[in-house]
Structure 1
Amino acid sequence: MALYLRILLLALLHLTGGLKLFVHSPQKALLGSDVLLHCNFSVTRPPVDLKFLAILWKYQENQILRYDSKDLYHQPRVSFNEQDARNGIASISLSNVTIKDGGMYKCFVIYSPDSKDEVVNLDILVPPMIQIPSKRVHKFEKKTLLCSVIGFHPPDIDITWFRDGEVLVDSIFSKKQRNDDGTYSVNSSVTIMPDHNYKNQTFSCRVQHEALREPLEENFQLLYEGQTRSRILVIIVIIGVSVFLVLLVFLTWFFKTPRCRKSWSKGNQFIPLFYFCLLSARRAR
């Protein structure tokens, strides 16, 4: 009787295998890349007997893979190596991941009559881009510098302003906007009063995000429009005043000169004023 119970116990241990499941979660993948969702299992008495094994994967309660000794089913962009199952590997590969692929996956391993399941969370990373819409300023006029950070995922992000390496602490953040493609955008701004001290200084918008291996930074210098426009305006005014004074002097001389005034009163053709005067002077000779 004792020998019979011992044999029965050994048979049960072989069937159940003392199943254990190991996963790596959360996992992260860049948009458009391929990712391996890790799920490994072990049994007490290897090797794995495929007759008792079944593997299932679900994404948000939708089955994306099913494997047993008789059949293999998987959705597009999902792949599974059947040979790995003999070595206790139930991992699957997702190709060309999108933002919609992010979320909760569940790995089920059945080693009859035992079963285990574990959750694997996948985060899709999309690196941000920086845009500085305007760098033009007017001297002694307040200017709000804007740093637009677009197209990133997940939404957590850090933006810092610098002026010649020193942190500008009065920056303001707008509310994050979710884009149609699932990414996010946000604006950061800082208000300054441009003066001669800012002319050669470098402003920087630095972004830190988990999709970046190192911070992303956009450096720029202010473009002073006020000085150029003022100089152009001064030149225009000087030219205008000069032309006016020359014309005034000429007209004063013209109408005070009897010959010019007389030729003007008798002129019946469309001839410039100075030509009337010159023609009259020649005739007088």
Structure 2
Amino acid sequence: MESDYTSASDSIVRANIADGQRKVFQAPQNAHRVAGENFTFHCAFHFLQDISKANIYWWKLGNTEFLQQGTDSRKQFVRLRKGEASLQLLKVQVADSGVYYCGVKHLDNLFTNGTGSTLVVYVPPIPLSIKSELLAINASKTLIISCKTAAFYPDGINVTWYKDGFQTVTGIHTVKNLNSDGLYELSSCLEVTQTLRYVTCQVAHRTLQIPVNVTFNALNWNGVPNSGENKNFHRFQVALIHRFVLGFLVILILIIMIVVHFKRC
């Protein structure tokens, strides 16, 4: 990559007067990647027989300067044989989304820009978090369970709630916001008034191969058993402990009696 270059905007204007027989093709035309993956743009300009007599430039639409080798280690510039070149972005980030162009400048100073490639970087909404808040309303208790996603992109997302494995569509309040980074954040709340074992929040997004679940154990609200079954189980545990202690004492007494007997003998 040459260090003495004109600005990207100047070169794009000059491309309008380039020889009509000169074509610079780019691939893919449209693509998306999940944040953290690598992506490669391809540029072909087969009208040049001798690639050594041309300078190749890359730029992102909206920027006033060309992309340069060495300014960002995540950007790798490769000049291939037979009139081809590539730009590889390592561990893509949301800020990498945009339209990228490849341009070729020959020794006759004619500049031809490519057809452009659009990259959209997706961000999955994970990990999920779930928590609860116990509210006292008119002498009755309501458990509010909130499910929050990590920042994600693009917008489309589905949240489904399950009570003890059965889908529910009532008592749900969902809010979605756009943060300063251009990513979305979602918070969904479910009101629970009856006794349950567990509540599950399920999130589906185009970045996820399968929906992701997060489950809240609702057997105890604020540490207090909320069902007769739980109380019965607690009674069973207490009874079991009592029987264990009693059995231990019986065995201990028998051992003492045997030891005393042998000493007398």
TM-score, normalization: structure 1? 0.57
State the match for 1:160 in structure 2: 160
Q: Does 1:40 align with 2:43?
A: yes
Residue deviations 1:99-156, cap 9 Å, x none?
2222232222456657242222222232222111117688963333211112323343
C-alpha distance in 1 between matches for 2:226 and 2:210: 42
Residue deviations 1:52-90, cap 9 Å, x none?
533221123233447xxxxxx5632222122x1x23332
C-alpha distance in 2 between matches for 1:226 and 1:213: 35
C-alpha distance in 1 between matches for 2:205 and 2:140: 35
Moved more, 218-227 or 101-110: 218-227
C-alpha distance in 1 between matches for 2:42 and 2:78: 12
Larger Rg: 1
Which consecutive unaligned segments of at least 5 residues does structure 2 have? 1-18, 228-265
- Which letter maps to 1:19? K
C-alpha distance in 1 between matches for 2:162 and 2:82: 54
Aligned identity (percent) is: 22
Structural mapping, 1:6-155, within 5 Å: 19-36=23-40, 38-43=41-46, 48-59=49-60, 60-65=62-67, 73=69, 75-77=71-73, 78-82=75-79, 84=80, 86-110=81-105, 115-128=112-125, 129-134=127-132, 141-155=141-155
- Which letter maps to 2:176? K
Query: Retained in 1: the 8 A contact 2:51–2:83?
Result: no
SS at match of 2:224: helix
Question: What is the aligned counterpart of 1:205 among 198, 201, 204?
Answer: 201
State the match for 1:173 in structure 2: 174
Larger helix fraction of residues: 1
Q: 1:172–1:25: structure 2 CA closer, same or farther, 3 Å change rule?
A: farther
Q: 1:48–1:151: structure 2 CA closer, same or farther, 3 Å change rule?
A: same
SS at match of 2:194: coil
Q: 1:224–1:65: structure 2 CA closer, same or farther, 3 Å change rule?
A: closer
- Which letter maps to 1:88? G
- Which letter maps to 2:34? L
Larger strand fraction of residues: 2
Q: Does 1:224 align with 2:227?
A: no
C-alpha distance in 1 between matches for 2:191 and 2:82: 61
RMSD of the TM alignment (CA)? 3.5
The Cα of 1:20 is off from its aligned counterpart by 4.7
Query: Retained in 2: the 8 A contact 1:56–1:63?
Result: no
State the match for 2:190 in structure 1: 190
C-alpha distance in 2 between matches for 1:177 and 1:162: 26
Aligned residues between the structures:
201
Which consecutive unaligned segments of at least 5 residues does structure 1 have? 1-14, 67-72, 232-285
Q: 1:230–1:149: structure 2 CA closer, same or farther, 3 Å change rule?
A: closer
Q: 1:216–1:25: structure 2 CA closer, same or farther, 3 Å change rule?
A: farther
Residue deviations 1:174-198, cap 9 Å, x none?
131415x554321012223213xx2
